[in-house]
């Protein structure tokens, strides 16, 4: 840490202090301090998000703790996305948690620990740091899902998530051990340099890369490692589903990008071939299987699998003969796609929790029947979310998909772009089915929709942002490109 400014670490330190403050507040005040806990967590997230955005403008990376932790443009931008998504998730979830006696300090503590793990994942510059960040996020997520101990399906979801998550962690550790044995280092840059020397057994390297890619696919929910996604999404309470389906996807993308692009770029030909298979299978299974779902959380789970396919397409498209501009465009488009997906999934689950009431989850597709007659504004917001997930203009999802597909074509993988377009047509069916139910069917529920004014205003703003970024995507995608450009290894 010599000659390295500590100012870049201040937001991380701030969030750690907030976590300690929340813990002390929960110990001292108990249930009476839940509202204060909520205000502290949301307020600190909204303070840290622009703080990270300002730091992302600094093009010079800063390394800390013997080069195990890095603060660069890419990490800071991704952290700003994570903090904004985290704050929005908690605001949407408040009423849902209060009605189910989950508005407690332990929920917010676990959420904060999961967030801290994601921040470490994004800034990891060492195999060990990346693993520790993953485990901090994962262990907190397992506990969050199991908070409703009285619900068998919640406990079942937590157990499935834990068992398969532990399997993925085992894959990762085995892959890291192979690479460490071959290169003698855990530092990403040192591993990359050692691989370039061509003095290492290629078979050992290939084994290590295979297990690491499998672990990344597990955590992202890519086929054939997707079996946990629909069951966990369905079984977990909706507020917990949002916490594991939104910001962790962005963090895991950044985590995988650190592994593959920063540490294992010399083996790009090998992991690119693996990602092609994973992406193609994810696009097919996610879009086709989602058609037969009748539960919206399971439908959004298969949507997540298909969106994982698009993220993998962006990752593999960055390897184009070592051309820096092509790599920047591909990875920048993928960062933009990840932020788009986060924005859209927040709005989608926000509407689901808006319709939910005490002892009523509103997680069936039929629960959306006639929503336009009950609330035209929120029906229109949900329409924008479904249009964005389907990639229909003028929403941001269209431009995000187009940018990724353009990178795939530039990578000379036209057949994969064609497959993505064809499978997206299948996916559009189940997104448009929601719109049909909202606008053309009679409502089965006449209960008034109640929510806090903050939730209502934020949902409207969420929908407006999805529309605005679809019309004017340039500024945000330029920021994404710049962050990637200053972080890519030369």
Which residue in 302, 300, 318 sits closest to 423, CA to CA? 302
Residue 350 domain-assigned (yes or no) = yes
Residue 197 domain-assigned (yes or no) = yes
Tokens of 481: 């490109």
Residue 55 domain-assigned (yes or no) = yes
Which residue in 162, 158, 138 sits closest to 148, CA to CA? 158
> Please, how many CA atoms are within 13 Å of residue 406, restricted to the half-sphere of its CB?
16
Backbone angles phi, psi at 63, to 5 degrees: -110, 140
Q: Which domain holds residue 371?
A: 6-485
pLDDT value, residue 30: 78
**What CA–CA distance (Å, rounded) separates 295 from 182?**
47
Q: Mark out the alpha helices in 146-235 (DSSP H runs).
A: 152-183, 188-196, 202-220, 228-235
pLDDT value, residue 198: 76
Assess contact for 424 and 286: CB atoms under 8 A.
Answer: no
**What CA–CA distance (Å, rounded) separates 358 from 102?**
12
Give CA separation, 271 vs 110, 113, 476, in Å: 34, 31, 29
Give CA separation, 311 vs 76, 221, 280, 316, in Å: 20, 11, 11, 9
Which residue in 313, 299, 146, 130 sits closest to 229, CA to CA? 299
Q: How many C-beta neighbours within 10 Å does residue 304 have?
A: 26
Per-residue model confidence as pLDDT tens for the chain (490 residues)? 555 778 889 999 999 999 999 999 888 887 788 899 999 999 999 999 999 999 988 888 889 988 899 999 999 999 999 999 999 999 999 999 998 888 888 899 999 999 999 999 999 999 999 999 999 999 999 999 988 888 888 889 999 999 999 999 999 999 999 999 988 899 999 998 888 887 788 888 899 999 999 999 999 999 889 889 999 999 999 999 999 988 999 999 999 999 999 989 888 888 999 999 999 999 999 999 989 999 999 999 999 999 999 999 999 988 764 556 788 889 999 999 999 999 999 999 999 999 988 878 888 898 899 999 888 999 999 999 999 999 999 999 999 999 999 999 988 899 999 999 999 999 899 999 999 999 998 887 777 787 788 889 999 999 999 999 999 998 999 999 999 988 887 5
**What CA–CA distance (Å, rounded) separates 168 from 186?**
19
pLDDT value, residue 200: 81
Containing 64, the helix (H) or strand (E) segment is strand 62-64
Assess contact for 302 and 424: CB atoms under 8 A.
Answer: no
Look up residue 187 and give its DSSP letter: B
475: which residues sit within 8 A by CB, 6+ positions away? Answer: none
Containing 63, the helix (H) or strand (E) segment is strand 62-64
Q: What is the secondary structure of 410-469 as a DSSP string? A: HTT-HHHHHHHHHHHHHHHHHHHHHHHHHHHS--S--PPP---HHHHHHHHHHHHHHHHH
- Long-range (24+ apart) CB contacts under 8 A made by 321-327 are 324/485, 324/488, 324/490, 326/407, 326/410, 326/411, 327/484, 327/488
Residue 490 domain-assigned (yes or no) = no
Backbone angles phi, psi at 64, to 5 degrees: -135, 160
335: which residues sit within 8 A by CB, 6+ positions away? Answer: 74, 77, 78, 253, 480, 483, 484
**What CA–CA distance (Å, rounded) separates 58 from 2?**
18
Residue 1 domain-assigned (yes or no) = no
String of b and e for 60-97 (b: at least 16 CB within 10 Å)? ebbbbeeebbbbbbbbbbbbbbbbbbbbbbbbbbbbbb
Assess contact for 386 and 397: CB atoms under 8 A.
Answer: no
Angle at which helices 453-471 and 376-390 pack, to 10 degrees? 40
Domains held by the chain: number: 1
């Amino acid at each position: 840490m010599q000659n390295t400014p500590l100012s870049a670490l201040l937001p991380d330190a701030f969030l750690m202090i907030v976590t300690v403050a929340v813990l002390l507040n929960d110990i001292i005040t108990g249930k009476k301090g839940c509202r204060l806990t909520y205000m502290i967590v949301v307020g600190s997230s909204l303070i840290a998000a622009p703080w990270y955005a300002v730091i992302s403008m600094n093009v010079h990376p800063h390394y800390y703790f013997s080069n195990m932790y890095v603060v660069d443009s890419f990490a800071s931008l991704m952290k700003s996305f994570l903090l904004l998504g985290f704050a929005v998730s908690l605001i949407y979830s408040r009423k849902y948690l209060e009605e189910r006696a989950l508005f407690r300090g332990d929920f917010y503590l676990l959420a904060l620990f999961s967030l801290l793990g994601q921040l470490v994942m994004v800034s990891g510059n060492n195999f060990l740091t990346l693993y520790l960040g993953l485990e901090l996020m994962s262990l907190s997520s397992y506990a969050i899902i199991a908070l409703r101990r009285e619900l068998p399906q919640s406990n079942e979801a937590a157990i499935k998530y834990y068992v398969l998550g532990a399997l993925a962690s085992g894959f990762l550790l085995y892959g890291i051990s192979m690479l460490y044995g071959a290169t003698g280092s855990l530092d990403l840059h040192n591993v990359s340099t050692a691989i370039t020397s061509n003095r290492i057994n290629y078979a050992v390297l290939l084994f290590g890369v295979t297990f690491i890619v499998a672990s990344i696919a597990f955590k992202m929910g890519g086929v054939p490692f997707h079996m946990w996604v629909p069951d966990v999404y369905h079984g977990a309470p909706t507020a917990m589903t949002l916490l594991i389906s939104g910001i962790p996807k962005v963090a895991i993308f950044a985590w995988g990008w650190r592994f593959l692009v920063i540490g294992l770029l010399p083996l790009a030909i090998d992991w690119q071939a693996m990602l092609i298979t994973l992406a193609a299978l994810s696009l097919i299974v996610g879009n086709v299987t989602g058609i037969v779902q009748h539960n919206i959380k399971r439908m959004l789970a298969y949507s997540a699998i298909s969106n994982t396919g698009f993220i993998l397409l962006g990752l593999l498209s960055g390897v184009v003969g070592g051309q820096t501009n092509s790599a920047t465009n591909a990875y920048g488009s993928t960062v933009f796609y990840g932020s788009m997906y986060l924005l859209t999934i927040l709005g989608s689950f926000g509407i689901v929790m808006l319709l939910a009431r005490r002892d009523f989850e509103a997680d069936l597709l039929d629960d959306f029947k006639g929503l336009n007659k009950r609330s035209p504004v929120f029906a229109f917001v949900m329409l924008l979310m479904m249009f964005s997930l389907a990639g229909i203009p003028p929403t941001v999802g269209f431009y995000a998909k187009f940018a990724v597909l353009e990178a795939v074509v530039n990578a000379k993988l036209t057949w994969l772009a064609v497959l993505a377009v064809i499978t997206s047509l299948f996916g559009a069916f189940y997104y448009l089915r929601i719109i049909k139910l909202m606008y053309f069917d009679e409502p089965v529920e006449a209960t008034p929709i109640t929510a806090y004014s903050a939730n209502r205003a934020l949902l409207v703003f969420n929908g407006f942002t999805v529309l605005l970024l679809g019309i004017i995507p340039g500024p945000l995608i330029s920021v994404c490109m710049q962050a990637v450009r200053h972080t890519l290894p030369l």
